[in-house]
Amino acid sequence: MYEFGIIDCLARWLTSMMLVLGTYNPYAMSYYHWLYDFPGQVPLKITIGVVLLILHVVAILSSVRSLGLIGIGLLTALFASAAWVLIDNHLLNVEDPRVFTLTLLVILATLYGVGLSWSHLRNRLSGQVDSTDVTFNSPV
């Protein structure tokens, strides 16, 4: 039987990193820079924008559902204190505003990654299944 492992966690984390940093990052090419620095290609830009929006909504909704507000708060505190440890040991220079923005984006991407993995991890650790009650949510 297939079990959810470290590879699956890493895959989700890397995908969310690509999603978040592909949408915006302060260093290199991103969707944001493509939008503002390069004219033309409007239909393609709209299409990619909608795809990115859908992916963000999927990641945010599943993170909120599986972690809850308390989980997101605790994880944010954890990552912020981890960043603080790095800053305190001079491993992260947040005087540079680009590094600061990148830190925030990496924290957001890690939250997405943990949110996408948490229901699997919970099921593997305790056997409990997260579910979504879709009975009364349908508009039709």
Among 41, 57, 68, 96, binds other proteins (CB under 8 A): 68
When asked if residue 93 is in the footprint of other proteins (CB under 8 A), the reply is: no
Closest approach of other proteins to the CB of residue 123, in Å = 9
| Stretch binding other proteins (CB under 8 A), from 6-14, 27-35, 49-57, 58-66 | 58-66
Q: CA 140 → CA 91, 135, 136, distances in Å?
A: 53, 11, 10
d(CA 96, CA 94): 5
C-beta closer to other proteins: residue 45 or 122: 122
When asked if residue 58 is in the footprint of other proteins (CB under 8 A), the reply is: no
Closest approach of other proteins to the CB of residue 95, in Å = 17
C-beta closer to other proteins: residue 6 or 125: 125
Q: Read off the tokens for 81.
A: 């204190």
Q: Read off the tokens for 96.
A: 């540079």
CA angle, residues 88, 93, 99, in degrees to nearest 5? 130
Closest approach of other proteins to the CB of residue 65, in Å = 5
Whether 108 and 18 have beta carbons less than 8 Å apart is answered as no
C-beta closer to other proteins: residue 25 or 119: 119
Phi, psi of 88 (to 5 degrees): -65, -30
Nearest by Cα to 131 from 122, 56, 140: 122
Residues found near other proteins in the complex (CB under 8 A) = 1-2, 64-66, 68, 74-75, 77-78, 81-82, 84-85, 88, 122, 125-133
